[in-house]
Chains A and B, each alone.
Chain A
Amino acid sequence: AQKITQTQPGMFVQEKEAVTLDCTYDTSDPSYGLFWYKQPSSGEMIFLIYQGSYDQQNATEGRYSLNFQKARKSANLVISASQLGDSAMYFCAMSGGSNYKLTFGKGTLLTVNP
């Protein structure tokens, strides 16, 4: 069984600062994928970044980077230069196994202060 743990229910960051959202995972599958999604108050799920279990380098997408530490089973999301529009719920998720189902963590509510 797969499990995603997000231990930070809420995080605060000042505008223009960087913030790290924690995510640890557990799986017995040798091949898996790790995703981060952003969910603003409107409810839509916005894909941010992906890291494959065999990827040698950490994924980056603009201001988002994924700090992938395989041995520690962690996949933390780093948001650089936070903006007010980054305030939202952030979910870490994992895929693997048949049908590529996603297992989600409980989420972290990020608030960016001006």
Chain B
Amino acid sequence: GAVVSQHPSRVICKSGTSVKIECRSLDFQATTMFWYRQFPKQSLMLMATSNEGSKATYEQGVEKDKFLINHASLTLSTLTVTSAHPEDSSFYICSASDRTSSYNEQFFGPGTRLTVL
């Protein structure tokens, strides 16, 4: 099956710093990537949809300037949490859509656990 990697898997940073999370599709081209946020014991919340070569589409309530998304190639999307604060601490998961799949399945990365001190 298709593989999606995420790096780093875990990051701890100080308040006010920026953190970049990478999402890569390793064996397929992903025209669309999705970024989710998950708080403990809660469901996944879609933050934004990222299409290669174009600006990301953010869900309502998600700050574009806070969560910068870049989808520069068909295999890489990055999420940068700018000026991170403790309330940004969460589990961030990306997924990549394989358009060759019979039902446009999303393949998920292993997630990144962000802790802001």
Contact = CB atoms under 8 A, between A and B. Distances in A.
Interface of A: 33, 35, 37, 42-45, 47, 50, 52, 91, 95, 99-102, 104-107
Given A43-B93, A95-B104, A100-B32, A107 B49 contact: no
Question: Which applies to chain B's interface (DSSP): helix, strand, loop or mixed?
Answer: strand
B103 A52 contact: yes
B105 A50 contact: yes
The 4 lowest CB-CB distance pairs between A and B, nearest first, are: A45-B108, A43-B111, A100-B104, A104-B43
Contacts of B49: 99, 101
A91 B43 contact: yes
Nearest to B50: A99
B34 interface: yes
A60 to B, nearest CB: 15
Q: How large is the interface on B (under 10, 10 to 19, 20 to 34, 35 or more residues)?
A: 20 to 34
Given A47-B105, A50-B105, A52-B103, A101 B111 contact: no
Interface of B: 1, 32, 34, 38, 42-44, 46, 49, 51, 57, 91, 93, 95, 97, 103-108, 110-111, 113
B58 to A, nearest CB: 12
Contacts of A37: 108
A37 B44 CA distance: 11
Contacts of B38: 43
B111 A44 contact: yes
B103 to A, nearest CB: 5
